[in-house]
Every structure is written in C-alpha cells, then in structure tokens.
Amino acid sequence: MLNPPFSGSVPIYVALGLLILSLALLMGFICRRVYRLIRRLRHRPIPHVGIVTSTLRLLLMLLLIALSAAVLFLSGFIQSYTAFTHRQRAAIVYCAPAEGLEDEMALWLVTFEPPTIGYLSHHRLRGQQWAVEGHILKWDDWLNLLGLQTMYKLTRVRGRYLRAEDESSKPATASSLVEQEEDPRWRWLYEYGARLPFVSAVYGNTVFTFPSDTKTFEIYATPFGFMIEEGKK
C-alpha cells in the first residue's frame, strides 16, 4: 500500500520558503547599504532613508530568519521522528488453537489495504504458530524523511512448526491472500528494484507468533518491515 507521499512535509516546505525569502531580503538590504555607501564615498546623491526605519527593517528580517529557521528545525525533527516510527496497520489477526486437536488452529484475518479494506478471511492452519508473509519495498531513507512511506503487500498466511524436522515431516498448510501469487510486477521489483533510483531494497518479510484464545494481534508495516503488536480483544 502506498499512501500519498510528502503529505506531512508542508510545514517544512513553508518554513524553508520563508527562510530563503528572508535571506534574500537580507542580502538585498546589505547590497543596498553597500551601494549607498559607495555612492556616498563618490559624493553622489543618494535617497534619504531614516536610521530608525533602516534599523527596524533589519530587525524584522533577522526576526523572520530566526523564526523560519526555528520552525524548519522543529518541523524537520518531528518529520524525521515520524518517518522512522511511522506504522501502517496492515491487518488484524485473531488465531486460537483448535479445540481438541493437536497442532491445529483457526485464524481470522482482516486486511486494511485497498481494494480489500475490511475483508475478513478464515483459515485452518497446522503447526504451533501462525505466520503472515508479504512483500516490502523500502525507499531511500531521505525519501522517508520527506514523507514517502514503505510499500507493502500481504501475500500468504500459513502454519509454522517450531522444529525444522516437523516442517518437512508433518502436514504443511498455507493460504494465499492475493488473487495472483506470481505477480509479474513484484517479480520484476525483486529482480531490478534495488537498481532503481530512490529504492533501497525489495524483499520478502514474515512475522509469526503463537495463537491465543485471549488476544488479538495487529500487523503493521513499518519503514523496515512487518511487525506484530498485541491488540485489545
């Protein structure tokens, strides 16, 4: 999922614009003062400007520079903090062990990515843990600072055994969350995405944990991949 880029960067752009404008005004003020000084040294007539008016203009420009620089610094700090702590809710999971059956569980999953926002699916899984897999496209860090968020796609839910030998000897269960599992677009991104400008990495990511009768789980897409957080039932 890709949210509108750069939506949280408006204060930075406004503050940067004001800073550039105020610096340009200051440079113009200095140039005019130098020009007036040169004409005075050459004994040429110059328009009269009161010292009070000139001082007030200088103070206002310095104040504008200080304020815009402070807003730019504060907005940049907030934006950088938000960029690397931002989370997009990708799904809610409820998974409970199947009553009376060993290493079996029932899982309900609600996705939050278009066009299946709020779509509920049910899955019967074998294993001691449930797992959700998906694709991640990570942008360069400086684009995260500007507000561009990580792209992701949930693709599969499956059961997971704790022991590797059980994975190969016991029944495996997996369910697709997409209509087209061999998506040529993501296949192309896996092959060439890292060579594209502004793309840091393209990779698959899996999160897994134990089922619970008393908990729900929320899956989030972060700038570095998926994470699970316990929710309130």
Segment 69-126, tens digit of pLDDT: 888 888 777 766 666 777 889 999 999 998 888 889 999 999 987 666 778 899 999 9
In this structure, what are the phi and psi dihedrals at residue 15, rounded to the nearest 5 degrees? -65, -40
Question: Which two structure tokens, joined as six digits, stand for 131?
Answer: 């797992």
Q: Under a CB-based contact definition with an 8 Å cutoff, are residues 1 and 90 in contact?
A: yes
Weakly modelled stretches of the chain, pLDDT under 50: 1-7
Helical residues (DSSP H) of 100-183, grouped into ranges: 141-145, 164-169
Q: Under a CB-based contact definition with an 8 Å cutoff, are residues 110 and 118 in contact?
A: yes
Instruction: Report CA-CA distances (Å) from 189 to 70, 162, 223.
Output: 40, 31, 17
Please report the pLDDT score of residue 73 as a whole number: 80
Instruction: Please give the model's pTM, rounded to 2 decimal places.
Output: 0.67
Q: Under a CB-based contact definition with an 8 Å cutoff, are residues 229 and 220 in contact?
A: yes
Instruction: Report CA-CA distances (Å) from 30 to 43, 52, 68, 210.
Output: 20, 16, 20, 68
DSSP strand pairing (174-176 vs 151-160):
antiparallel
Please report the pLDDT score of residue 87 as a whole number: 84
pLDDT in tens, 61-79: 889 889 888 888 887 777 6
Question: Which two structure tokens, joined as six digits, stand for 79?
Answer: 């934006």
Please report the pLDDT score of residue 9 as a whole number: 65
Q: Under a CB-based contact definition with an 8 Å cutoff, are residues 145 and 77 in contact?
A: no
